[in-house]
Each structure stands twice: as structure tokens, then as C-alpha cells.
Chain A
């Protein structure tokens, strides 16, 4: 754990991508299995366990430190985990232990101070060897004593110092330097600090009541950096500041492999990745994915800006509608016995097959479709609100299936039978997709049409009027257009310049719910006022910064859902305000619509929204994929430019 913590600490300070890679690769090289595997899991966001509340950490430190000293320290450091990691006193502190060889100091009553002082002088004098040699009475200090006086050699003293310190691990110009220190358990009786593996595997199974004692033990055993990383990890506040992609690239570098190769086999791997490291170190064959229907990490688009078009050639791109549904991956494959297994995954790889049993029979050919989940009634795409009726259901009743018939609109084909198509250019994959959908010949699965265009002007017109540009009666469900480079392979993550999304309404962002407050009047029993934030680069990697507050736009049903979410996911309470979990992979994404943006020095984010409202709940989206502050800043610039024009 200490070594992993050291890596995290160093990564947080290192700005260069290649240098980060070097640090991680060297860690993988130096640290053995299974620790490095759990480290890779932590770096790729693949670790999950129940988190401890900050209040628990406060209790632990309160039991060991003076509250005034803790308060002053916390004020100074500004971060709970770091404060606790830094000031954590090891072992039991005994305040009465006096310094060896010297009398315990006595309090001196103010009124009798002179006397008390004189008394103690007698006592102190015995300890003292008073040298009165070389006394001079020259109050002008003489003119220059350089020639007559010499100074002891510091070298001799250094030796003496080394001797005096032989028994001390740190510091100590004289023996018994630290009251607390001298009571600490010393080397031989010390349990070794926990490994990362021990921490991760223990946290997974540890009961809530056992957590405080376990944490205390670990805090006693770890060094400062280790304590810091442990506290960040258990409170779910570990911001690593590197992408999963970078961590996988660093792993690939261990075996001089192409990172893409690691990405391709990644879905079939799990912590602590023993098979992966064995392959990277040339000890075994490449791991094969035994899951007949594995998830493949999804490819995401960048939001396009007005200025981007100047650098893009329309001929390089294929455009298609961006449907207002849920992005999914529908995968079917044959198991060992040749039977088809079909699974539906959310964009984060969550298996959501159980919620859509009505789609499974349609996935009867082995392959992997990237598409959008929609509700179709009489061949017409329904609004997202209608689709939402099918989400987060524990029981999928026949009535639900009948009233809300599910449909898959296909964008892309990632696998065709045994063949991995992800390395092929998009144009080629699109052709394979057309054939695949035709072969499936199922009313529940159709092809998302492309939008023909010859110039950016033509595409602008199509986006402004999807009805006449081919979307027809489904135009209301068009959220915008997608631009995909014809030659783009299917790359996990959000690679630059490959895919662009161009939403119809520029005034919509995906934000993350951060705080909730009780409403007023008839809503006073519900948490109905929401503060939401977007991502920005903070001191230690990405962090959420609040950008606005909204208290309407949602249906009564949605209010109940959010209220429930808030109550179940509160991390801290301050009067009427609740802090709601908002981590990269935990939290609620709110689609927020607004009328405009203004600069605002009053807000930490520097921007303020006009008339913000919740336009949709994005249960399907991990907070990590919510928008960034830069997107708002760009909107702000665009708006300013439009105003001037």
C-alpha cells in the first residue's frame, strides 16, 4: 500500500503524459502480483467497495488528538484525509511521560512567578554544568575576534551527532527525543504495513462495524503517504488524475505491446489481472476472452464547436442522427456448446439484459451492435420520457413490455461472428452493419439512417430541420447529429478528431447532482432544490465545480426518484442541505437546459446560467461523462460572438 501510495502521490505532481507512463510502468515492473494488478484496477476505476463516510474519519482522529490542534491543523491543510494522514499519532499517547533525564516542568502561578522560578533554578542548577570561563566585560564586543577565537570543527560534531542518533529512526539531536515516539511499537514487534491487495480484499468483505478498528490498525501501520492514499480510497475520494487508457498503455509498455491489444482483451479480464501480466512478461500466451458475449469499451464523441468546422473536410465524414434514447451495446455470441448467449450493456459496461428481456430474442446472430435503445409505437420513436418508464424497474411485467415496446437502432458493428471489426474504418463497419441488420431481419432492430450532406451548410440545414432531412415523423426524437470520420477505427474512450456530436440545442449540458436542499411549501418534505456541477481540472485532477441550481423541470415521478436517490446517497448533512455522492462512477447525472450564460465572479465556476431547469435524468450516464466547464466557457464565447455579430 505504501508503494502504491507513493506512485499515486508522484503521479499527482507529474504533469507530463510520458513521464506518468514511465512512473506507472516502472511500478508494474518493480511490484509483483497481485499488488500491481489491484493497482491497475484502481487506476482504471475497476475497484469497487462500500465507502466510509468522512464522519468516521473525524471520529477516528478525534479519539487520538487534541481537538484544538486538530482544528488548527485542518484549517491549515484544508483536506480531511491529508490532515489525518499527517497528524495521525501512532500508538497510544501518554501525556504524563516525562522526558528522560529532566524534571517534569511545573506550572508557574502567575502571581508567584519570580519565586517559583527561583525555586526551580536550584533544581535546574544541579543539572547544569555552568562554565564561566572566558568571561569578558567588553560591552563593545571588541573589534574583531577572528584571530583569537576558533570554532569547533563541525565534522567532529557530526560524528558525535551520528553516534547520538544511532538508535533513532528519525530526528533526535539527543536521545529520547519524542515522548510519543518512545512509546511507539518498535521495529521487531511491528506488524508489516498492509499490502494494497490486503486493503482491497479486506474492504470488499469487511462489515460496517469492523471498519473503524481495521482502519485504525492500518493507519498505525502505514506511512504518511500510505495513510493519505488509504483514507482517500476508503472515502471514495481517490482522484488519480490519469485516464484508464493511460494505465492500460503503461501496462502494455511493460511487455512492449500495442495498448490497443490490451484494450481488445480488457473486457474479459478482471483484477488482479494475473493472466495479463503473465502475458506482458512473456510467460504465457495472450489471454483469450472466454466470455461469449463480452462488453467492449465504448467510443465516445467530442462536442463540436463552430470553430472546429473550418479544419474539417465534409468529405471525410459520415453524418447520422443522434437519437434521444439510451446508448447500448447489444452483444451475442456462441458458448462452448454452440448456444447463443445475448447480453445488453449500458455504455459503462453494466449488464442491463434483465431489464429488456423482450429484446433478447432479436439478438440471435453472433455479433456486437453499438446502438440506441428507443421505444417505438406504431413505428414511431417515442420521447425519452416514455423510454424512462422502462428504466430502473425491478420487475419487468408483461404489461410494461406491451405498453413500452423496446427497440434497438443500430449505429455501428464492432464484432461480426468471430471477427473483431474494431480495427476497420467506420465506413467499412457501416457496410457490414447494413448487411448484418438485413440478415437479422427483425422488427425490433433497425439501422440508424445516415444523413447525406455535401457541405457544412447542408448539414447545418439538416440539423435545423430533421423532418425534411430524412428523420420525418421521428424528428422530435432527434437530439442532434453525429459526425464520424469514415476512416476511424472503433477506439475506446474519447479519441480526438474521430467522432463529433452536434446537439440541436446548444443550451443543454449534462451536469452532476452535488447538493440537494428541501423545497418550500408543498415540496418541503422533498429534496427538490438541486445544485449541480461540471468537471474541471482541479489541484489533484478532475473535480466537480458547481455551476447552477435548479428546482423545476422534472415530473412528480422524477421528483420522487431524485428524492429517494438523495436520501440514499447522502455523504454529509449541513442543516437543510445534503451533500450527494458525486464521484466519477457514482452519482446522478442531470441534463440541464438553460436559456443563456453569463460570466459571474460570484460563482466559483465563473459562469452563471439563466433559467436553468432539469430537462432529464440521466440514470444511464456515469458522472464521469458529464460535461466539463470548458464546454460552458466555449458556449459563453460563442454567445458573446453571436451578440456582437
Chain B
């Protein structure tokens, strides 16, 4: 038996991370025969693959977004469940990123590689918490891979929002949040903070949010904002896709305070660029401390860094004596920079 090197097991290709011995791709950006998908964000979960293996929630939300025929066939897998695919075995572990998000552990012979997709180690009432998976090679995202990204407690950010609502009762508060994951987390955090008034939703968020509720996530009373009179929106909170908070649509609100819930809000220039008045640093990705602590804790001796600020994280790994390299995968992570039609669903 030839000894498999990690790159013989998983290799970056134009279509995405390819597992030759298993005959599948992880989060492919082009149509492939067999796709194993970490989570339902549009930059990771695309329509048009032959067969898709993912968690039930990921499959359900892909179906909501792309329609019934988003893939030739689908198979659901649970957290902790292991499946043999060709010469490798594949096991799913919670990634703590959004509902149904998973890290995928690919084992072949004695080598275990974890493709963590997007992940966060911060608490989130709307999804299963991140699970640490010891491995030999850890593939990490680097969306917030700079030490300037230290996301504090999301509950404090929600307090900031509520303080603003109290100070400006005659204004509407419009919170830009990605419609899959972030929006529901913000709502859940508002409820945890004791806010029990109805929360209004932009039309684009309704179906995903209702899906979250159907999975038993308590979000309190939600109402569509469509058709509500301007005056009735004073003192209320509305969740909307980030792109909607800067367009004509906002005219239906009385003197809106534009908030944006994103890890990018940590950097002032980013917030100003977007014309945000109330930046809320709430991220569904691990911050710098989370990334570095996770990398260290996996015990992996080799780290592959993808989508984001690879340079700094690779440097950090090397300074800790870890082998590290950037993975040149395209098509992930910089959703926020581009206002593509998918922009509403991109996240950070």
C-alpha cells in the first residue's frame, strides 16, 4: 500500500477541494458529480451537482433557496455519523457557523484532514456549538484572519442596539444582517436580551427565518414589514439583507437608524464605507483569537488556510512551528465585497 500524503487525499482544483480517493468534492463552486457540502451559504452550497451529501438542515435550506431539483440526488448525514466513500471515510461535526453547518473530517489510512468550512467558536443560540476535532491537517477559513479582528460578546452589541432604540423611539432601526444565520441569531439575541416586541422582517428573510422556527428555534413574534404604515414603524426593529439597507426601500421607514451586524464592523473605515450609523460587531466566523486557539487545539501539525486573510494566519502558524500554506481556492468568502445578486445571502 502506498502511503498517502495529505495532498493525495484532498487537493485544491478549479472546481473546489477535490477528494480523489473518495470521488467527491467539498463545497464545489462548479457542477460536479458528487458534492459534500459544509453549510448552506450560497458560496459553499451551489445548485446543479449530481449528488449532494450534507446535513438535513443544509439540504432543506438549499431546497428552499434553489427549488426541489437543486441536485440529482441528496443524502442527509448527522453530526457524528461516519460514511465510507471510496477509499476514505467522511464524518460530519458541528461547525457552529449557522444552522446545520458542519466540519467534514476526511480520513484515509492513518491521516485525518478536517475541512472546517466556515466556523465560529462563539456561542450562538441558533445552532449546534462548534466541536473540536483533533486531526493531522486542519483546513481553516481566514475571513477574520488578522489580529485586529477581535469580536467581543455579541450580547453587548445587541445591548447597544437596544440602547439606541430607547434613545430614538421615534426612529426605526434597520438592521442589515445576512438572511441565513446572522438574521436569526440577531433575533435570538434580542429575545435573550429581553426584547419581546414584534420584530419586522424584509421579505427576503421570511422563508429562511420560518425554517429556523420550524426547527424549534424560538424567535418570538415576527411580522413581515411589507404593508406596514411608516408611522407604525417608529421605535421598531426590522431585519433586512445588507444590500436593502442602502436603497430606496428604506424610505418606508421613519428616519431610520441603519445598523449592520457583521464582523467587518470592527474596522471603522469599513463601517463608514457602507454608510452604517450603528455598526454591530456580530460575526458568524471565528475571530483572530478563535482561529488561533482552534488551530492550536486541533493538534494538527499542518494547516491549510483558505478564503480570507491567509497571509497573517499562515505567518502565525509558522511562528508556532506548524506547517502552513494558503490554499488557493477561489469563489469563497469575499461575498461582502461584491454586490452580486447573491449578495443578500452572503455572510460574514
Contacts and interface: CB of A to CB of B under 8 A. Distances in A.
Most chain A CB within a 10 A radius of its CB, from B127, B147, B149, B321: B147
B75 A73 contact: no
Contact of A141 (B75, B80, B91): B75
B312 A105 contact: no
Contacts of B321: 105-107
Interface in B118-136: 120-132, 134-136
Contacts of A114: 3-5
Interface stretch (A168-176, A190-198, A245-253, A459-467): A168-176
Given A22-B167, A76-B267, A154-B217, A171 B147 contact: no
A13 interface: yes
Given A113-B5, A179-B293, A164 B81 contact: no
B287 interface: yes
Contacts of B171: 19
B195 interface: no
Nearest to A106: B301
Interface stretch (A129-137, A211-219, A269-277, A555-563): A129-137
Given A69-B312, A157-B128, A177-B289, A140 B51 contact: yes
A128 B134 contact: yes
A423 B66 CA distance: 69
A99 B86 CA distance: 35
A645 interface: no
Given A114-B3, A145-B75, A173 B130 contact: yes
Contact of A73 (B127, B128, B146, B272): B146
Interface stretch (B172-180, B245-253, B274-282): B274-282
Interface string A123-159: 0100110011111111111111110011111110110
Contact of A146 (B76, B122, B148): B76
A601 interface: no
A145 B121 contact: no
A134 B81 CA distance: 6
Contact of B78 (A10, A118, A128, A152): A152
A171 B151 contact: yes
Interface in A84-135: 86-87, 89, 95, 98-99, 101-103, 105-108, 110, 113-114, 116-118, 120-121, 124, 127-128, 131-135
The interface size bin for chain B is 35 or more
A13 B278 contact: yes
B311 A72 contact: yes
A120 B137 CA distance: 11
A140 B50 CA distance: 9
14 contacts: A15-B277, A26-B167, A117-B110, A128-B134, A134-B83, A154-B99, A154-B215, A155-B218, A157-B94, A160-B129, A162-B123, A171-B151, A171-B286, A224-B266
A154 B299 contact: no
Interface in B99-124: 99-100, 110-112, 120-124
Interface of B: 3-6, 23, 34, 51-53, 55-57, 59, 73-86, 89, 91, 94, 96, 99-100, 110-112, 120-132, 134-136, 146-153, 167-168, 171, 215-218, 255, 266-269, 271-272, 276-279, 286-287, 289-290, 292-293, 296-302, 309, 311-312, 315-316, 319-323
Most chain B CB within a 10 A radius of its CB, from A19, A153, A154: A154
A450 to B, nearest CB: 46
B289 A171 contact: yes
Nearest to A164: B129
B129 A117 contact: no
A77 interface: yes
Nearest to A121: B110
Given A77-B148, A161-B129, A144 B74 contact: yes
A268 B299 CA distance: 66
A518 B51 CA distance: 71
Interface in A223-279: 223-224
Contacts of A142: 73, 75
B146 A135 contact: no
A316 interface: no
B167 A173 contact: no
A134 B94 contact: no
B40 to A, nearest CB: 13
Contacts of B279: 13
B267 A149 contact: no
Contacts of B120: 171, 173
Given A121-B111, A172-B123, A141 B267 contact: no
Contacts of A86: 147-150, 266-267
A145 B123 contact: no
A12 B77 CA distance: 48
B136 A124 contact: yes
A79 interface: yes
Contact of A143 (B4, B5, B73, B315): B73
Most chain A CB within a 10 A radius of its CB, from B111, B120, B297: B297
A23 interface: yes
A142 B76 CA distance: 9
A174 B312 contact: no
Interface of A: 9-10, 12-16, 19, 22-23, 26, 65-66, 68-69, 72-73, 76-79, 82-83, 86-87, 89, 95, 98-99, 101-103, 105-108, 110, 113-114, 116-118, 120-121, 124, 127-128, 131-146, 149-155, 157-158, 160-162, 164-165, 169-174, 176-181, 223-224, 539-540
Given A136-B83, A141-B51, A173-B123, A154 B128 contact: yes
Contacts of A151: 55-57, 76, 78-79, 100
B297 A165 contact: no
B78 A149 contact: yes
Given A13-B276, A139-B86, A177-B290, A108 B302 contact: yes
Given A69-B312, A105-B299, A153-B216, A132 B126 contact: no
A121 B3 CA distance: 14
B146 A76 contact: yes
Contact of A103 (B78, B121, B148, B299): B299
Contact of B296 (A19, A65, A99): A99
What 5 pairs across the A-B complex have the smallest Cβ distances? Answer: A141-B75, A173-B130, A157-B128, A161-B129, A86-B148
Contacts of A102: 132, 134, 296-299
A539 B269 contact: yes
Contacts of A128: 134
Contacts of A79: 268-269
Contact of A161 (B4, B124, B316, B319): B124
Contacts of B301: 105-108, 116-117, 120
A124 B134 CA distance: 7
Nearest to A124: B134
Nearest to A16: B255
A599 B104 CA distance: 58
Nearest to B110: A121
A99 B51 contact: no
A68 B318 CA distance: 12
B5 A169 contact: no
A136 B84 contact: yes
Contacts of B96: 173
A19 B168 contact: yes
Contacts of B311: 72
B82 A135 contact: yes
A224 B152 contact: yes
A139 B3 CA distance: 23
A310 to B, nearest CB: 33
A79 to B, nearest CB: 7
Contacts of B74: 141, 143-146
A83 B124 CA distance: 28
Contacts of A124: 112, 134-136, 299
Contacts of A121: 110-112, 136
Most chain B CB within a 10 A radius of its CB, from A149, A157, A160: A157
Contact of B121 (A99, A132, A171): A171
Nearest to B128: A157
Contacts of B122: 170-173
